Amino acid sequence: MIAVIDYGAGNLRSAVRALQHVGADLVVTDDPALITGAAGVVLPGVGATRDTMQELERRGLATIIPQIIAAGTPFLGICVGMQVLAQTSEEWSDHACLGVAPGAVRRFPAEVGKVPQIGWNQVCFTTEHPIFAGIPNGADFYFVHSFYVDTPDERYVAGRTEYGLSFPSVLAFGSVVATQFHPEKSGRWGLALLRNFVRLVAAHDAGNGERLAETAAAKAS
């Protein structure tokens, strides 16, 4: 079961429909117990990091999400769901985010041109990762954002996009994958990415089941 976190995000329904389309068994919830017990977790998002953090804190999820990530549960963050993984954000005044990835959320500078970036843009992979299985390097995905994650540690970056400057459009570290673009609005390649995430969750869950069985067998002997 994949838990899709419901904190009032505007893209929740479209993300849920896309996940269901690729075969995900999911629950939409803000219940910390259900989220903690899920085999995988998705944090969709649109809007501002400050509002998102306030809602996560109000629902008791701002401490739960880092715990889930530390425990190795597969986690997918989408758009603002990626940005809040950073340490801080300058959107609507400086404030703390979840702090599970190094760096800060910054506004595109005026010299990049039109802000927000709205539309299709290429994602160039900087590392191999199973989330990209079957997706060509340089594939187009759909973006809507005025801010981006500025991280000093390239080890956290799995994909980059050019929009006046090069910014991380995919983060991948541990069991976490996060995208600045909206896979649920990105056609065949977005669905492929979501399908890959569902497969990662299934593989991780199967591995946990095997380890539990091995532990039980060892105790029985």
- What is the assigned CATH class of domain 2-220? alpha beta
Mean per-residue pLDDT over the chain, rounded: 94
Active site residues: 79, 182, 184
Residue 90 has pLDDT above 80, yes or no: yes
**pLDDT tens sequence across 124-166:** 999 999 999 999 999 999 999 999 999 999 999 999 999 999 9
Q: Is the peptide bond before 116 cis (omega within 30 degrees of 0)?
A: yes
The token duo for 161 is 């996009």
Query: Helices 12-21 and 187-220: crossing angle, nearest 10°?
Result: 70
Identify the H or E element spanning 117: strand 117-122
Residue 216 has pLDDT above 50, yes or no: no
Region 107-115 average pLDDT = 95
pTM of the complete model = 0.93
- In order of 11, 37, 143, 208, 210, the CA distances from 179 in angstroms are 14, 23, 10, 26, 30
pLDDT at 149: 98
**pLDDT tens sequence across 18-48:** 999 999 999 999 999 999 999 999 999 888 9
Burial 131-146, CB ≥16 within 10 A → b, else e: bbeebeeebbbbbebe
Region 154-182 average pLDDT = 98
Give the whole-angstrom CA distance, residue 89 versus residue 50: 8
Residues, the chain: 221
Residue 215 has pLDDT above 60, yes or no: no
- In order of 15, 66, 136, the CA distances from 43 in angstroms are 10, 12, 25
- In order of 16, 20, 56, 85, the CA distances from 184 in angstroms are 8, 11, 22, 20
pLDDT at 47: 87
